[in-house]
Amino acid sequence: MVGKANGNKKEAYMYFCEPMGKGRTVILILGILFGCQDIDNCTSDSNTDFMIVRFFDFETKAAKKVRFLVSTTEGSSLFGFPDDSLAIGLPLDPMDTSLVFVFDSDTSDFDYELEVRYDPTFQIFDPDCPPSLFFNGLDTLRSTFDSTSIQSIITNRQVLTNFEVYF
């Protein structure tokens, strides 16, 4: 039993410590080469084409659940958020650099407006994936909420909040 164990140890030693043969060298080189290849795929793209707006109570500064129907003043776009949400993701128009969102709440007669500016940027993330879109330089141009605060000027998967809205 002891002899067999020693034999295995010796084999292991020979396998790892003796000079490598040509075959193993080729395998090692191929392993290194393929190990260095990009393993990008479309799902690892961290760009996003929408901004995230998070809501807070103006008095208490506590997170606030909202139920909004959001449209843009340009007319056609309508985004519904029927469930109570602490934050909503709003797509931005890549053919423009500013957009006015109108927030219609079924619990209030008053519609809030938020006008934002941004710079759309297209990039080829990976040639095998569709072009990627993200927005940079986000800023508030006008707001009828009590207060707004910019948390991140870029849209990205790692970003949890672009705008904080207090009302």
CB of 38 to other proteins, least distance (A): 7
Report how far apart, in Å, the C-alpha atoms of 99 and of each of 50, 125, 148 are. Answer: 12, 26, 16
- For residue 94, state whether it binds other proteins (rule: CB under 8 A): yes
Strand 163-166 and strand 66-72: the pairing is: unpaired
Sign of CA dihedral 130, 117, 58, 103: negative
Binding mask 105-124 for other proteins (x = CB under 8 A): --------------xxxxxx
- For residue 60, state whether it binds other proteins (rule: CB under 8 A): no
- For residue 128, state whether it binds other proteins (rule: CB under 8 A): yes
Across the chain, where does the E strand assignment appear?
50-56, 66-72, 78-85, 87-91, 98-105, 112-123, 132-143, 147-150, 163-166
Half-sphere exposure of residue 79, counting CA atoms within 13 Å on the CB side? 13
CB of 167 to other proteins, least distance (A): 23
* Span 145-164, contacts to other proteins by CB under 8 A: none
- Name the residue nearer to other proteins (CB basis): 56 or 92: 92
- Name the residue nearer to other proteins (CB basis): 67 or 94: 94
Contacting positions for other proteins (CB under 8 A): 38, 40, 49-50, 76-79, 91, 93-95, 119-124, 127-128, 130-131, 133
